[in-house]
């Protein structure tokens, strides 16, 4: 079992640039979650999808952030334009709602915006 | 709304010491309770879980019991090792919601 796969693992970019983070959930899972982790704010849920449909995006900080899930095996989180305060570790997690509900996390993408 | 409160860290222990991390929760309905662990530079991993009152979750020497009467899910380990150094998160999910509500995390450092 490959687990949740995220890419890239590290991203360094300059302010104003577009950043795209990618996630491949565990095969067979029906829900996907994007989180952001910082020292100041801890772990924050940004958005989650069920059966590829966004259910709750109330955690998305602002319009610069967008997320898509075009199919059951792929999701993206895009930041455009990026700002230094977006620097954080971004985690993707997947789960099978209705079977325990525990979430399985990817290794994260460490984003640094200069 | 649902919330989780866990003891603040950091916690520093010597090897073979007893570890307790307190966790209490507020939730509607009958939540499932979890402990996740995050090792340095890694994502969160599920450590153990309990889905109903009086259930005991256990894994890798860690244990936690779902106490409905005290709305608690305290994590314990009888003899910690240096490799247990990590951040520990208590979390819950309500029966009618997909989302996990996380505590703030407790950093544990075990010294040889």
Q: What is the pLDDT of residues A84-114, one digit of tens each?
A: 999 999 999 999 877 667 899 999 999 999 9
Judged by CB atoms closer than 8 Å, whether chains meet at A101 and B43 is answered as no
Of A69-73, A96-100, B46-50, B74-78, which gets the smallest average pLDDT? A96-100
What does the pLDDT average to over A31-48?
A: 93
Contacts of B15 by beta carbon, 8 Å cutoff, 6+ apart: B79, B80, B81, B82, B110, B111, B112
Chain A residues with beta carbon closer than 8 angstroms to that of B9: none
All residues at 6 or more sequence positions from A99 whose CB lies less than 8 Å from its CB, including other chains? none
- The answer on pLDDT for A24 being more than 80 is yes
Contact B98 A105 (CB under 8 A): no
pLDDT surpasses 70 at B93:
yes
d(CA B34, CA B31): 10
Contact A56 B102 (CB under 8 A): no
Facing residue for A101 by CB, picked from B43, B93, B102: B93
Whole-number average pLDDT of chain A: 93
Residue contact A55–B98, C-beta within 8 A:
yes
* Distance to chain A for B55, nearest Cα, Å: 14
Distance from CA of A109 to the nearest CA of B (A): 10
Closest residue in B to A48 (Cα–Cα): B99
Residue B16 CB partners (closer than 8 Å, separation 6+): B79, B80, B81
Residue B96, pLDDT > 90, answer: no
Query: Does B34 sit within 8 Å of A91, measured CB to CB?
Result: no
Q: Tens digits of per-residue pLDDT, B16-67? A: 999 999 999 998 888 999 999 999 888 999 999 999 999 999 999 999 999 9
Residues of B in contact with A43 (CB under 8 A): 44, 89, 102, 105
**Beta carbons of B44 and A42 less than 8 Å apart:** no
Q: How confident is the model at residue B7 (pLDDT cuts 50, 70, 90)?
A: confident
What is the arithmetic mean of pLDDT over A5-13?
A: 97
Taking contacts as CB-CB distances below 8 angstroms, the residues of chain A near B32 are 100-102
- pLDDT value, residue B70: 95
At A66 the pLDDT is: 97
Residues of chain B with Cβ-Cβ distance to A95 below 8 Å are 98
Residue of B102, B105, B95, B103 whose CA lies nearest to B29: B95
What per-residue confidence (pLDDT) applies to A42? 87
């Amino acid at each position: 079992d490959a687990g949740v796969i995220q890419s890239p693992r590290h991203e360094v970019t300059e302010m104003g640039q577009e950043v795209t983070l990618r996630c491949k959930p565990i095969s067979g899972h029906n829900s996907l979650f994007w989180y952001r982790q910082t020292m100041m704010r801890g772990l924050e849920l940004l958005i989650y999808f069920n059966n590829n449909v966004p259910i709750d995006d109330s955690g998305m900080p602002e319009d610069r952030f967008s997320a898509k899930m075009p199919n059951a095996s792929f999701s993206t989180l895009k930041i455009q334009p990026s700002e230094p305060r977006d620097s954080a570790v971004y985690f993707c997690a997947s789960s099978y709602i209705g079977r325990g509900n525990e979430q399985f996390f990817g290794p994260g993408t460490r984003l640094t915006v200069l | 709304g649902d919330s989780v409160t866990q003891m603040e860290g950091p916690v520093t222990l010597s090897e073979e010491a007893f570890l307790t991390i307190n966790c209490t929760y507020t939730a509607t309905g009958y939540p499932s309770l979890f402990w996740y662990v995050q090792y340095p530079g890694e994502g969160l991993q599920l450590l153990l879980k309990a889905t109903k009152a009086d259930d005991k979750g256990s894994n890798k020497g860690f244990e936690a019991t779902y106490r409905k009467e005290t709305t608690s899910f305290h994590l314990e380990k009888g003899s910690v090792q240096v490799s247990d150094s990590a951040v520990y998160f208590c979390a819950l999910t309500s029966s009618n919601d997909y989302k996990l509500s996380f505590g703030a995390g407790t950093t544990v450092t075990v010294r040889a």
